[in-house]
Amino acid sequence: PVVFANDLVASGTAAIFAPAPAKVALNPFARVPSRAISGVSAGHVAVIAAGTGLGEALFYFDGTRHHPMPTEGGHSDFAPNSALESELWAYLRAKLDGHVSYERILCGKGFVDLYEFAKIQMLAVETPHMQARLANCPDKSAEITAQAVAGSDALSEIACRLFARIYGAEAGNLALKSLPMGGVFVAGAIAGHILPFMQREFMQGFLDKGRFAPLLKHIPVWVVSDPDLALKGAAQLAQAYFA
C-alpha cells in the first residue's frame, strides 16, 4: 500500500526525535522539559517551516506518544505589529491585489519582496554592486540572505531582520494557540541560512506578546537543520504504520 503524509507531519515527526547536534536552541529562557518518553520531551509540539511556502503543524501528546495534526496555518492573515509592518502589508496587498498571508512573506520569494519594500521605503540605499549582482543572479533570495549574513549589504540586512521578526511573531502566535510545552521546532531550509537573525530578531518577534510574553519564555524553541528531515520523518511514519 501507498500512504500519503503531509510534509510538515513528516518533518515534525523527525524533528521531535532529532539528535542534539541537529538542533540549535533559540530561547535562552526555556528549560527543556525534564519528563521524557523514550528520550523525547513530553508535551504538545508545534512545527513551523518556511521554505518554498510556510508550513505549520501540531503534535498532540497523549502522555505516551505524539499525534500529528496538519494545518494550513501559513495561509492565515498577516497581522502587522508596527508602523513599518503596516506599510509592508499595504505594499503587498497592492502588489498581490488581495489577501496577504504569512506565507506571502515567509517563503523564499519573500526576501525579494522585503528587499524591494525596504528600497522603496528608502530604509537604505541600494548599492551599484548589489544592483548588479541581483540583475545577474538566478536566485535573488539566496544572494540577499548571503549578503545579509555576511553583513555586507544594508538593504539585505533590513530584509532579513524583517523576515526573521515576522517569522518569530507567527511562531509565537502558533505557540499561544497550541501551548506546545514540548517545544516549537523550526524546520525548513531558510532558518539555518539566516541563523544569526533567528537568534535575535526571530526571538524578539516570538516573545513580543505583551502580557503573555512570560508564558512564551517557558517554551523551548529549536532550529532543526537537516536537509533530509522530511525523508527521515516519512521513514519513521512508514515504520510505525507497517509495524
Residue 37 is predicted with a pLDDT of: 46
More confident residue, 196 or 4: 196
H or E stretch including 11?
helix 7-16
Query: CB within 8 A of 217, min separation 6: which ones?
Result: 27, 29, 30, 207
Across 207-229, average pLDDT: 95
Residue 98 is predicted with a pLDDT of: 93
Domains in the chain with CATH codes: 7-76+178-242 (3.40.367.20), 83-163 (no CATH)
Q: How far apart are CA 136 and CA 54, in angstroms?
A: 27
Q: How far apart are CA 217 and CA 220, in angstroms?
A: 8
H or E stretch including 165?
helix 154-178
Assess whether pLDDT exceeds 70 at residue 135: yes
Q: How far apart are CA 201 and CA 84, in angstroms?
A: 15
Give the predicted TM-score (pTM) of the model: 0.94
Confirm if 74 and 56 have CB atoms less than 8 A apart: yes
Q: Given pLDDT bands bounded at 50, 70 and 90, which one contains residue 31?
A: confident
Residue whose C-alpha cell is 512570560: 214
Across 157-181, b (16+ Cβ under 10 Å) vs e yields bbbbbbbbbbbbbbbbbbbeebebb
The one-letter amino acid at 88 = L
139-190 pLDDT per residue, tens: 999 999 999 999 999 999 999 999 999 999 999 999 999 999 999 999 999 9
- Report the relative pairing of strands 183-187 and 45-50 from DSSP bridges: parallel
User: Residue 8 corresponds to which cell in the numbers above?
Assistant: 510538515
User: Residue 140 corresponds to which cell in the numbers above?
Assistant: 535573488
Confirm if 180 and 143 have CB atoms less than 8 A apart: no
Across 115-135, average pLDDT: 96
Q: How far apart are CA 179 and CA 218, in angstroms?
A: 10
Q: How far apart are CA 183 and CA 174, in angstroms?
A: 11
Across 190-214, average pLDDT: 97
Assess whether pLDDT exceeds 50 at residue 68: yes
